[in-house]
Amino acid sequence: MVLNVPRGFKFVGINCGIKKCKKDLAIAYSEKECTAYGMFTTNVVKAAPVIYDKELLARNPKGIRAIVVNSGNANACTGEGGMKNTLKMAKKVAEKLGFTQDSVLVSSTGVIGVQLPIEKIESGIERAVNLLTDDPIQFAEAIMTTDTAIKLSYREIEIGGKNVRILGIAKGSGMIHPNLATMLSFIFTDAKISYNALKMSLRNSVDKSYNMIDVDRDTSTNDSVIILANGLAENKEIVENTKEYEDFCKTLDEVNIELAKKIVEDGEGATKLIQVEVINAPSEEIARKIARSIISSNLVKTAIYGEDANWGRIIAAAGYSGAVFDVSMVDLRLSNEQEDLMVFEKGQGVLFDENVAKRILCSTKVFLVFDMNCGNAQAVAWGCDLTEKYVQINGRYRT
């Protein structure tokens, strides 16, 4: 894959010895200081790198130069030693690339409760900084854990006569639940954009993307979404409430939604992508609650895996979402990219062709359309089916 990566960014991914042979250490570097913003796990138990990054971004949001990431070890629940190792990772990258420790963000992903093999990581950093290139593929490979494929998304947009590039790189496959997930997502752009505009664009985009996906109802200790903007596109600075801001937000949404869908398509053991669309809702808040409740239901996931048109599970999941609505107004349809089938209309089940339902549920992409018929708001959530292989993968995760 050849990309015109955002100007001034370089990447590397290597094996440093955390894993036996797969890549497990990644660095992204900017030739110029970046304006940066991050969003992190809602889990009360937070890994050392999350604590470190939150504090650093609050203190130095316009001076970030690099991100270093290790996979195979989450550096979570590791106490004082874990925080010291986080600082050592940042310090080593800063020393080798020639700037201050406060310019380096750190992320980790993998097994919880094990101290990092910091000597291997520091040695790996010394090798890695000499291998930085324009190619982000090795970075994407090095941040994977149970992922079966790399996850990248790329867009270009013209802003003020200048070509602006946005590159997103993510990992995630299990422990995926709304309000971020066991996922890391790093977005790199050469746009010149104000801090407030960058902050709001990411917050709104995450609400539409990573906060609307589910694999298994689990939220991790390391979830992070970080955006870096180095301004090397040399466009007029993007600020809020302008057409340029709207165009940037739209493009950023495309990147993050594509990555979010790739995460659930690669869900541990998954065989199907599920999309839940709530339409004609009285408010976006209600639509989001219902969509997220349905996509998070293990009973819905297993029914779709088993190709059983058990619409009762879908309606029940909407009912316990916390949203108040009149079920007598609701229609529910199942569809794929070829066929569409009404299974529930105005509050009750209807006769439907089981053969058509079977064909729809046999598809690798299954769409559930929950029509509330009482407004103009809508929301979309994405997830995957729940299979025996999910249990197998997670039953031996540490071994």
Tell me: do 245 and 311 sit in the same domain: no
Boundaries of domain holding 294: 273-395
Report the 10 Å Cβ neighbour count for 129: 20
Tell me: do 285 and 218 sit in the same domain: no
Tell me: do 53 and 89 sit in the same domain: yes
Q: What is the domain count for the chain?
A: 2
Give the 3-state secondary structure of residue 13.
strand
Give the pTM: 0.87
Show which of 222, 238, 265 is a domain's final residue. 265
Tell me: do 283 and 201 sit in the same domain: no
CATH code at position 211 = 3.60.70.12
Residue 4 lies in a domain: no
Residue 43 lies in a domain: yes
Which residues have a catalytic role annotated?
182
Residue 1 lies in a domain: no
Tell me: do 193 and 254 sit in the same domain: yes
Residue 3 lies in a domain: no
CATH code at position 382 = 3.10.20.340
Tell me: do 142 and 286 sit in the same domain: no
Residue 187 lies in a domain: yes
> Tens place of pLDDT for every residue, the chain, 399 residues?
446 899 999 999 999 999 999 999 999 999 999 999 999 887 788 899 999 999 999 999 999 999 999 999 999 999 999 999 999 999 999 999 999 999 999 999 988 899 999 999 999 999 999 999 999 999 999 999 888 899 999 999 999 999 999 999 999 764 444 454 457 999 999 999 999 999 999 999 998 998 888 765 555 556 789 999 999 999 999 999 999 999 999 999 999 999 998 988 887 778 899 999 999 999 999 999 999 999 989 899 999 999 999 999 999 999 999 999 999 999 999 999 899 999 999 999 999 999 999 999 999 999 999 999 999 999 999 988 888 877 776 666 555
Tell me: do 123 and 239 sit in the same domain: yes
Q: What's the rounded Cα separation, in Å, for the pair 248 and 96?
A: 34
Q: What's the rounded Cα separation, in Å, for the pair 56 and 371?
A: 44
Contacts 24+ apart (CB under 8 A), 289-292: 289/321, 289/322, 289/323, 290/318, 290/321, 290/323, 290/325, 290/370, 290/372, 290/379, 291/212, 291/370, 291/379, 291/380, 291/381, 292/178, 292/212, 292/214, 292/321, 292/381
Residue 2 lies in a domain: no
Show which of 265, 295, 328 is a domain's final residue. 265
